[in-house]
Every structure is written in structure tokens, then in C-alpha cells.
Amino acid sequence: MRVGIGHDTHRLVPGRPLVLGGVSIPHSRGLAGHSDADVVLHAVTDALLGAAGLGDIGDLYPDTDPVYESAASSLFVRETVIRLIQQGWRIVNLDVIIFAQEPKLGSAKQEIRRRLAELLGLDPDAVNVKAKTGEGVGSIGRAEAIGCQAVVLIDRNHEPN
Ligand code: MG
């Protein structure tokens, strides 16, 4: 078994759609970035890459590459999952914390959970999504940014399904 951790932060700016965990969230602002700036999928991609010892999202999907401009970040997750499967890894579970002062994510958490489970080929039971505000402190607490941390467990040499 191996464990991987991922983290990401993007700035909240006007004039951008807000996409978290592959789910469009109605809000007055969205996240700035080269791709769709989905901090959740970026953190999940890095957790998967980390667990398998495959580097990081910046190595594989550089933000200087025009191919990834405005790309849906689900592409990064899907390709990374395929990479792990090709190396014989199976994803066991995923745990995610989204740090956002706004918008409130209470109602979106379950939808994000289902979407993440679908992207990783997991039962929703094996995916957990938590949301925290910044308690008004720091850049996240001032709603200048949204952050995400993700932890994933993978294993190999399991019984074939
Ligand atoms: Mg990012």
C-alpha cells in the first residue's frame, strides 16, 4: 500500500466560472488559472501522482503548455488514473478537504463526492469530501482564494476483481 498527499490553492477572481471537483458551483467569482483552475482536481491529481511516485501535476501538465489552456481538469485526473492502473495500482480511497470562506459548499459536497468517485472509479463510500471556512483568517478566510488538500491510498498485488 502507498499513500499520497496533494495540495493546491488558486485565487478567486471575477469573470471566471467556479469549478470544484469537476462540479460547476454558482458563484459571483471563479478561480484564476491556466486550466479551469479546479483546485480539488489538481490536489487529487497530485495525491495520486505522489502515491505512485510519479512526480507532480506541474511536471506532467505545465501551465506554460497552450494545450492545457482552459482545459477541464478532469483530463488530468483521468490520465493519471489510467497511468496508475497501467502500473498495477488500484485506488482504495480518497479524502479531501476544501478550504473556502465562500461560497458555502454544504449542498455541493455530495455532488463533488459523486463526481470524484466517478472519475476515480470508486464507490462514493470510498470518497469523502469535507469543507472548511478559513474562519475569516488569512487569504482563504478573506475569500481571496480557495484551497484543497487531498489524501489517497493505493495498493497493488490485490486479488483481481
Ligand atoms: Mg492548480
Kindly give the distance from the C-alpha atom of residue 86 to the centroid of ligand 1, in angstroms, as a whole number. Answer: 25
Q: What is the pLDDT, as a whole number, of residue 158?
A: 61
Region class of 151: left (phi > 0), else alpha (psi between -120 and 50), else beta:
beta
Q: What is the pLDDT, as a whole number, of residue 157?
A: 74
pLDDT band at 32, cuts 50/70/90?
A: very high
Kindly give the distance from the C-alpha atom of residue 45 to the centroid of ligand 1, in angstroms, as a whole number. Answer: 10
Kindly give the distance from the C-alpha atom of residue 35 to the centroid of ligand 1, in angstroms, as a whole number. Answer: 8
Kindly give the distance from the C-alpha atom of residue 108 to the centroid of ligand 1, in angstroms, as a whole number. Answer: 20
Kindly give the distance from the C-alpha atom of residue 121 to the centroid of ligand 1, in angstroms, as a whole number. Answer: 22
pLDDT at position 66 over 90 = no
- Average confidence (pLDDT) over 139-160: 91
pLDDT at position 88 over 80 = yes
pLDDT at position 131 over 60 = yes
Q: What is the pLDDT, as a whole number, of residue 116?
A: 98
Kindly give the distance from the C-alpha atom of residue 18 to the centroid of ligand 1, in angstroms, as a whole number. Answer: 13
CA 88 to chain centroid, in Å, comes to 22
CA gap 73, 22 in Å, rounded: 7
Q: What is the pLDDT, as a whole number, of residue 160?
A: 55
Q: What is the pLDDT, as a whole number, of residue 159?
A: 61
Angle between helix 74-86 and helix 109-120 axes, rounded to 10 deg: 40
Q: What is the pLDDT, as a whole number, of residue 64?
A: 84
% of the chain beyond a pLDDT of 90: 88
